[in-house]
Chain A
Amino acid sequence: MRKIIFISKVTVVAVATVLFSSSLLANTELLKMQDDPNQWVMWGGNYAGTRYSELKQINAGNAADLQVAWTMSTGVLRGHEGGPLVIGDTMYIQTPFPNKVFAISLKDQGLKWRYEPKQDPSVIPVMCCDTVNRGLAYGDGKIFMLQADATLIALDAATGKLAWSVKNGDPKKGATGTSAPLVVKDKVIAGVSGGEYGVRGHLTAYDTKTGKQAWRGYSTGPDDEMLVDPEKTTHMLEPIGKDTGIKSWKGDEWKIGGGTTWGWYSYDPELNLVYYGSGNPGTWNPSQRPGDNKWSMAIWARDADTGMTKWLYQMTPHDEWDYDGVNEMILVDQEVKGKKRKTLVHFDRNGFGYTLDRVTGELLVAEKFDPAVNWATHVDMKTGRPQVVSKYSTDQNGADVDTQGVCPAALGSKDQQPASYSPRTGLFYVPTNHVCMNYEPYEVAYTAGQPYIGATLTMFPAPDSHGGLGNFIAWDAAKGKIVWSLPEPFSVWSGALATAGDVVFYGTLEGYLKAVDAKSGKELYKFKTPSGIIGNVNTYTYEGKQYLAVLSGIGGWAGIGMAAGLEGDSEGLGAVGAYRKLSDYTQLGGTLTVFALPDSVSGDKTASKD
């Protein structure tokens, strides 16, 4: 059995990859690196966020032969989101709070270095949705991470030494960090979490060299603080006009207006635009915040150098269900209605799959990607507004009324786990929820650093369906149609990967890593990792062999199996000592599992590439 790596002796080895240091090179290095399928250099595999790899040594014909090549325990309980980066001969992974970072040599799977920040644990209860972290970013010879306490840090990629750190928000007021930063040219871009604490969301760019703030654009408030131009910034191709971030709110609600930015950031180098989504507006009780609550629940296109907003699209004006708009933006050039377009594809929590022209923000397609979605009949293509069904409107039904049977639930038809796109099939592969809810809003007062929620929810599987809580679907974003749909017993909260081998990979809450045929959805392979998977599947090569890597670990008693058969929280388990006993014996917590074909199948070990 493999020893837990991090307790063995740490040898710091110089990174073999040449790490560029001049900012001129930094401007272009990631543009080149993202095209090299042997590495996995950012969360989406590339700036477009397609999570597609040209590697095809593992393909639909041989995926059934996959084996576990190596594993590593992170030793951290709680949910493991995000996925590993691979830069040259080094893999970098991160953990939930306390946000350890490991640099692993691909040569011998030994540790090159590890870093563990010192953070005030009082941040833990301020994190609404477990102490997750969605990953690292690489650029300019550094590894960037947004800590739970909203501190952005830069580590020397070769040594793990802290280069700089900067506060990106105040955890005392509920601001936390969970998202993966994105390096664009000489800047690193970071968002903020805390939508359940009335945090006013923003996207902020810092200089990769020094950590000095370059720009910050808020999601709500005055135009100059949002970095919008009333004349030039557009929504549905029209200028947005003055003070939209104030006038669409009652009183000062915009100051605690949410619109946090805890999802993923994509980038189009030709247009020089950064794309991302903003989250829910302030409290979950909609009657406390009349108005459209701009620009929560919106897709943003910002200039990477200045932060100035080119266009916006608000998916759920005046949210009544917590349908955060933060899910990933996938940038794909495709033909829509007979015309080749530079598009942005977004699977929103609200259950609609949106296709927009990413140059202008024109809305091209908005269709339900789960047939269970019932809160709106459709999206009006002239106004861009969803047509809300009164029965499911928690605002129209009012506070202290239980609005029943709303689909999707607050978790959305899809949460943050990123989808993937294969240019070979032209399809998007989307991990989804198939869950509905009852939702009862109530009056709530804002106190800094305290939850600002104001609704009670119950959730259940979508009725009159297959009884499961999820689906894994293939989606045609030009037509807005489901091509195939695999029923899953549980919600799929793992990020997908598509490859030139015409295989799509994703993880499940049971802990299965699954490989399915990209064309038909037919299951080719599944393997049960030690715990549920909410991480993203990534791929890379080392010495000509293709590998898949994924983090498992859902929190709670991740790693503790059925022999224990206990219920209760992990602290309770620790108290009875079973945790200690098990940890002497088995590897608890998050686990990195790396898959490859056995040598007898991968043959000459040449990872071929188109």
Chain B
Amino acid sequence: MRAFPDRHIGLACCYGVLALCAPSAAIANDFPTIDRVRFVQECMALRNSIKYETLYACSCTLDKIAAQINYDEFVEADSYMRMRNMRGERGGLFRDSDDHARTARKRFHDVKAQAEAGCFSLQSKSSVDAGTGSQDNAGKIQQ
């Protein structure tokens, strides 16, 4: 198991970028550690990489997201995205009917895409492909 690097270097880099594109709204930056850890873990797993640059880019992505939306909005969008995929009648509530859900999902998707675009460079931001090259399908928002 490879040791993780001094994360301050990575974070400092991210914050540097952040400062340039800081939104006018107040930055809540209120994500609990547990969700930061989990996001970065999943982000790295999805890219099948435990390299430093993936750690940096995934952390950077979450930092950028947390600078744009607060934690409650994140949880709401997360919930809507999951619930859309619930089976049967109950999932239908979120698939067909609810504009608010669609808006929340779309907003998160946009924020995330923007964050990734600002964090990934050499390593493909589109590596959710498992070698099938189907990232376009995977990332598509179905409205």
Contacts and interface: CB of A to CB of B under 8 A. Distances in A.
Contacts of B39: 561-563
A564 B96 CA distance: 22
A410 B96 CA distance: 14
Interface in A411-467: 411, 415, 435, 457-461, 467
Interface stretch (A257-265, A385-393, A566-574): A566-574
Main SS at interface, chain A: loop
A557 B45 CA distance: 15
Interface of A: 78-79, 127-131, 409-411, 415, 435, 457-461, 467, 469, 489-491, 493, 509-511, 528, 531-532, 554-558, 560-570, 572-573, 575-578, 580-582, 584-586
Given A128-B88, A556-B84, A582 B46 contact: yes
B93 A411 contact: yes
15 contacts: A78-B87, A79-B87, A127-B87, A127-B88, A410-B89, A490-B79, A510-B79, A554-B83, A555-B91, A556-B84, A562-B74, A567-B142, A575-B132, A575-B134, A576-B134
A573 B48 CA distance: 15
B7 interface: no
B140 A567 contact: yes
A581 B108 contact: no
A411 B89 CA distance: 8
Interface string B45-59: 110100000000010
B123 interface: no
A298 to B, nearest CB: 22
A520 B75 CA distance: 26
Given A567-B142, A577-B132, A130 B88 contact: yes
Contact of B128 (A489, A566, A567): A566
Nearest to A558: B82
Interface stretch (B12-20, B21-29, B97-105): B97-105
Nearest to B74: A562
B34 interface: yes
Contacts of B35: 528
Given A457-B92, A562-B74, A555 B108 contact: no
Given A555-B91, A567-B85, 8 more contacts: A79-B86, A127-B87, A554-B86, A564-B128, A570-B85, A575-B132, A576-B134, A580-B130
B135 A567 contact: no
Q: What are the 8 closest A-B residue pairs judged by CB atoms, nearest first?
A: A577-B130, A556-B85, A130-B87, A563-B42, A585-B45, A129-B88, A563-B43, A458-B97
A532 B138 contact: no
B138 A578 contact: yes
A595 to B, nearest CB: 15
A131 B87 contact: yes
Contacts of A459: 92-93, 96-98
Contacts of B42: 560-564, 582, 585-586
Interface string B65-84: 00000000011111101111
A409 B97 CA distance: 12
A148 B111 CA distance: 41
A576 B78 contact: no
A558 B84 CA distance: 11
B123 to A, nearest CB: 15
Interface of B: 32, 34-35, 38-46, 48, 58, 74-79, 81-93, 96-98, 100, 105, 108-109, 112, 128-132, 134-135, 137-142
B87 A129 contact: yes
A576 B135 contact: yes
A582 B43 CA distance: 9
A558 B82 CA distance: 7
A458 B93 CA distance: 7
Contacts of B138: 566, 568, 572-573, 576, 578
Contacts of B130: 576-578, 580-581
A556 B86 CA distance: 5
Given A567-B81, A585-B45, A576 B87 contact: no
A130 B90 contact: yes
A78 B82 CA distance: 11
A586 B41 contact: yes
B77 A556 contact: no
A562 B81 contact: yes
A411 B90 contact: yes
Given A556-B84, A565-B81, A458 B96 contact: yes
A563 B46 contact: yes
B9 to A, nearest CB: 22
Contacts of A457: 92
Contacts of A435: 93
B1 to A, nearest CB: 12
Contacts of B135: 576
B96 A576 contact: no
A435 B94 CA distance: 12
Nearest to A569: B85
A65 B134 CA distance: 45
Contacts of B77: 562
A303 B74 CA distance: 51
Contacts of A565: 81, 108-109, 112, 139
A71 to B, nearest CB: 13
Contacts of A131: 87
Contacts of B81: 562, 565, 567
Contacts of A556: 82-87, 91
Given A565-B112, A576-B138, A581 B46 contact: yes
A569 B82 CA distance: 10
A514 to B, nearest CB: 13
Q: Which of B32, B45, B142 has the most CB of A within 10 A?
A: B45
A102 to B, nearest CB: 22
Contacts of A491: 90, 93
B34 A528 contact: yes
A138 B132 CA distance: 47
Nearest to B128: A578
A532 B82 contact: yes
Nearest to B47: A581
A469 B93 CA distance: 10
A23 to B, nearest CB: 39
Nearest to A128: B88
